[in-house]
Structure 1
Amino acid sequence: MIAKRNNRFLLGIDIGTSAVKAALVNTATRAIVATASSPDTAERGIKSLQPGWAEQDPEQWWTDVKAAIRKLGEWPGCDLQAVDAIGITYQMHGLVVSDTENKVLRDAIIWCDSRAISEGERALQAIGEDKCLHHLLNYPGNFTAAKLAWVKEQEPAIYKKIHKVMLPGDYIALRLSNTVTSTVSMFSEGTFWDFRSHTVSEDMLNFFGFDPLFFGELQPVFSVHGRLSAAMASELGMKAGTPITYKAGDQLNNALSLNVLKPGEIATTAGTSGVIYAVTDQLVYDPQSRINSFAHVNHLPEQPRIGLLLCINGAGISNRWIRDCTGGVHSYTQMNEMAGGIAPGASGLRYYPFGNGAERMLEHTAVQAGFSGIDLNLHTPAHLYRAVQEGIAFAFRYGLDIMRENGLQATVVKAGKANLFLSEVFARAFVNVTGLTLELYHTDASVGAAVGAGIGLGIYTEANAFENLEQVAVITPDEPTREVYESIYQEWRIQLEQQIHQNK
């Protein structure tokens, strides 16, 4: 334990799809001292060279990380030399490959990319559905392992140069420290981990012919994943040797930031994608792999902690899309206010928040985004904004019902008051469509990463790390509104399932 830390800090870094965010947390009080993001207002785009493809440049992430950290150092009283440890969270399931000189060989294939579904299907058929589910807790799908297989088959010249295979957060840690490490959570989110043998899956390595040396040394999530190099410390104005003591995927980290660590607890988030994440102590899986099971940040062989993850690819990105399509003249705050002036149901206008890659909860069906029920003489931009937010809430309900089929019995869900949960319209639609009570907290991903770094450094425990977590609101279902939304949702669901049937 480190004794006196009144003027010491923990640095959290969040590698998001639309931006990089960073936060400084006071080590002693756990108070949020400063936050920053890069870019400030615009959102980073996704390269889509072909339909269903989604890529980003890891060098842009790195440029944004450095910019965000420097902005933190400009806050009054924020001495970056006083940072005790660094935590990193990142967009899950991405693929970053580098050569022997740690240079990136191609743009990262990110989470919503659909190109590798056929590679995952081949592995599923060869290994067997039962064995994949029993050992990996998932179908291979188009997770990181399948994406690496795609590179091997389609870009052999690049594949031959690969020295290390990383997720987005691993790459940022490499740039900070010249060190690559892996975790059980990292392996599980890429469908590389065998939960029965507690090792990297021989089935996956052998089927695809992957070199096990592609991966970094296996480390616990809460441990030292490298130390800030002298060169980077000088460039960033930080102290050389500062340890990186936490590294986890964004949804695991979101749960951590909300103190969702025990079986039966549930978290949600609505950023670029929408997620419900429930913790269990059982090695469970969905027989159709519509929801996915990953090792949580505190998973141990003798004390399983599995995160059941429902993902909707087109959540916040739908909100951004409709803003851009209406000319970008309204801020998100204005959009929320305008949507609030429209009654539930948006006067018959319905939105389907898909079209951002194949949806796992729809059995990897590539359903397109779209509206139905448009009335050219009635509907305004305010109706569009309301319909989009309600459509996202309906997609959450659709996925939640799948989780309930698999035994989820939660009645309360936690979320950070951020992204779509800043909208009263969305938050109340979410509550009344799902029937869940929503607890909102003052936290975000970068803050969670900073606190995770404190756990990894040994100055906090899981029991006390979130003693000061601030609850800012509780929203409960309203029965009359629930009845209205139930009728609308059932109509929406029937139309969605017709689309799914047409696309199969």
Structure 2
Amino acid sequence: MQAPRREEDKASNAVGSPCILGIDLGTTSVKAVLMEETRQGPAVIASCTEATGAAIESHDISGPKRDEQDVRRIVAALDACLGKLPPQSLQRVNRIGISGQMHGVVFWKTSRGCKWVERDRRWRFEPDAVSPLVTWQDGRCSSHFLSSLPKPRSHLNVATGYGCATIYWYLANNPDFLKPYDAAGTVHDYVVTMLCGQEKPRMTTQNAASWGYFSTTSRSWNTDILRESGFPICLLPEVVQPGDIAGRTAYAWHGVPKGTEVGAALGDFQCSVRSCMTQDTDAVLNIGTSAQLTVAMPSEFRPGDTPDPNSPVSYYPYFDNRYLVVAASLNGGNAVATFVDMLLRWMADLGIQGSEPEIYQRMIKAALAQAETGLCISPTIFGERHSPERLASATGIATSNLSLGHVVRALCRGVVQNLQAMLSSDRLKQAGVQRILAGGSGICKNEVLRQEVEKAYPFPVVYGKDVDAAMGAALALRQKK
């Protein structure tokens, strides 16, 4: 398991002032930050990151790709994070903001969603009658299956991995699975609901839009369409605005005072953008497990209620009734990680031992020595939401470009060019973009990706801004009066 990371601002002179706890439940890790007001503005005084190790291995290799996670492990990683934050600072928390991986769905029984226990003089909750989390990466809903679903009244398409699509899949393929449950939400909706001792979740428009069958124009579910097709309407959460308070903590959770305000769960993407975007002329590029490029739309912009299934960009609800235009690629750091895993498997087949960090370091070094290549790699091994059947490919293969350096350079270039094809430089210019704020674990540790971004986009690229969903969740609650 990844070692937890802790950061403290020893220069903070606001000892005793109220803190906001920001949490992000990511795809592979959980992060918690403590933010307080200083004379210079909001500052993170402590943070901790913990890998979840929550992936559930699928043994059905012949069927469609499943991607599920153990909610108990996610909550355990969250407990581990909070257990490493300063207890005296946790006691000063007066608000909690939570974000998490969008689109996915978890089910629970309202009367038995969790059990509260006290250990080491700290209260925490343990998931009880809870299903696995079906994540945004789940691939069970094929194009054929999605085409059989009713058309949504929304500007957003419905794709595999979306909450409503997953529920439809269970209705068609395993209806008994749904019978024990009477509530559903994203995993961060679940955590907020348990913290507040509530039965039904209150879901923000950000998460509702990511589930499908939600109109951001009317801020309501397509209940008429869903009900007519036999969809269990009872599983749909109540929808509220981003920044609204969902409730108050039912226990003194990890020393956070009982009765502390908890914000309704937010989208991790919107919170990542909120953490670093300071001007409307900023574009934000994040390359982590997946990859996203986004810019804020004008305040008067409103999308329609008809989805364009072929559009490579989407419009996500942001804050203050605004929207982001987003190129959200399913292929980012995960494409590079898949290549590393392939190399390790090949080495194992040849009887050669190697470690992931060593292989990664060596292949980046090889690519840095190979500035150009005629090899072209389309890295869409995970498909794209607007083109789910699309596969990865390589062209321009020659005996002169088969070295590791050529291949890794072409792979990293392909990740960036795939994003550029979705949201071009010309479109960014039309939106008035003056600089790109880049972040995410994939780009921060990969100098080759950084070089390719700077080649692809004719704007200054700033790497100093941290793209941090946990910080964005805290900042979103800071604005709430």
TM-score interval, smaller chain? 0.7 to 0.9
Distance 2:129 2:429 in 1: 40
56 and 398 in structure 1: CA distance in 2 versus 1, 3 angstrom threshold = same
User: Superposition RMSD on alpha carbons, in Å?
Assistant: 3.1
Letter of the 2:339 counterpart: I
CA distance in 2, matches of 1:209, 1:374: 51
What residue in structure 2 maps to residue 249 of structure 1?
A: 267
5 Å-filtered alignment, 1:302-317, equals 305-317=322-334
The alpha carbon displacement at 1:265 in A equals 4.8
- Rate the CA distance shift 1:387–1:33 in 2: closer, same or farther, 3 A: farther
**One-letter code of the match for 1:447?**
M
| 2:368 alignment partner in structure 1 | 341
CA distance in 2, matches of 1:282, 1:46: 41
Partner Cα distance (1:47, 1:90) in 2: 21
- Residue 454 of structure 2 is aligned to residue 431 of structure 1: yes
Distance 1:378 1:266, change over 3 A: closer
CA pair 319-338 structure 1, distance change in 2 beyond 3 A: same
Higher strand content, 1 or 2: 2
> Normalised by the size of structure 1, how large is the TM-score?
0.76
Work out the CA distance in 2 between the residues paired with 1:202 and 1:85.
Answer: 33
Deviation at 1:274, TM superposition (A): 0.2
1:359 deviation in Å? Answer: 0.9
Indicate the SS of the match to 2:244: coil
Question: Is 1:259 paired with 2:277?
Answer: yes
Structure 2 residue aligned with 1:69, among 79, 82, 89?
82
C-alpha spacing 1:272/1:394, structure 2 compared with 1 (3 Å): same
Q: Does 1:192 align with 2:205?
A: no
Aligned counterpart, 1:498: none
Percent of paired sites with the same residue:
21
Q: Larger helix proportion, structure 1 or 2?
A: 1
1:46-57 equivalent positions in 2, closer than 5 A: 47-48=57-58, 49=60, 50-57=63-70
- Following superposition, the deviation at residue 312 of structure 1 comes to 1.4
Q: 1:389 to 1:34 in 2, by over 3 A?
A: farther
AA matched with 1:112: Q
Matched, 1:447 2:471: yes
Q: Which residue of 1 aligns with 2:146?
A: 120
Per-residue CA deviation, residues 378-412 of structure 1 (Å, 9 max, x unaligned), is 75544444333222112111212399399756353
> Residue 60 in 1 paired to residue 73 in 2?
yes
Q: Say whether the 8 Å CA contact 2:69–2:132 is kept in structure 1.
A: yes
Cα deviation for residue 344 of structure 1 reads 2.6
Name the count of aligned residue pairs: 428
Q: How far apart, in 2, do the equivalents of 1:334 and 1:430 lie?
A: 20
Equivalent pair of 2:205/2:239 in contact (CA under 8 Å): yes
Once the two structures are overlaid, the 10-residue window that deviates more, 214-223 or 147-156, is: 214-223
* Alignment partner, residue 499 of structure 1: none
Counterpart CA distance in 2 for 1:406 and 1:116 is 36
Q: Distance in 1 between matches of 2:86 and 2:80?
A: 10
1:468 corresponds to: none
How far residue 374 of structure 1 moved from its aligned partner, in angstroms, is 6.2
After the TM superposition, which residues 220-239 of structure 1 pair with which residues of structure 2 at under 5 Å, given as runs?
220-230=241-251, 233=252, 236-239=254-257
CA distance in 1, matches of 2:31, 2:359: 18
Q: Aligned residue for 1:471?
A: none
* 1:364 aligned partner: 388
Please list the CA deviations of residues 285-332 of structure 1 after superposition, one character each: whole Å capped at 9, or x if unmatched.
773243222221322xxxxx1222212112111232333334335359
Write the distance in 2 (CA, Å) between the matches of 1:160 and 1:94: 19
Three-state SS of the structure 2 residue aligned to 1:27 is strand
Using the size of structure 2 for normalisation, the TM-score is 0.79
Mapped partners of 1:114, 1:260: distance in 2: 36
SS of corresponding position for 1:31:
strand
Amino acid at match of 1:453: L
What aligned pairs does 1:87-106 form with structure 2 within 5 A after superposition?
A: 87-100=97-110, 101-102=112-113, 103-106=128-131
1:19 corresponds to 2:29: yes
Alignment of 1:88-487 (within 5 A): 88-100=98-110, 101-102=112-113, 103-117=128-142, 118-123=144-149, 126-127=150-151, 132=152, 135-142=153-160, 143-179=162-198, 180-230=201-251, 233=252, 236-259=254-277, 262=280, 265-280=282-297, 281-284=300-303, 287=308, 288-299=310-321, 305-324=322-341, 325-326=343-344, 327-330=354-357, 334=361, 338-339=365-366, 341-345=368-372, 347-356=373-382, 358-361=383-386, 363-367=387-391, 369=392, 371=394, 379-401=402-424, 404=427, 410-416=433-439, 418-440=441-463, 441-456=465-480, 458=481
What code does the residue aligned with 1:397 have?
Answer: Q
Distance 1:105 1:80, change over 3 A: closer
Report deviation, 1:253: 1.1
Instruction: State the one-letter code of the partner of 1:209.
Output: G
Gaps of 5+ in 1: 300-304, 459-504
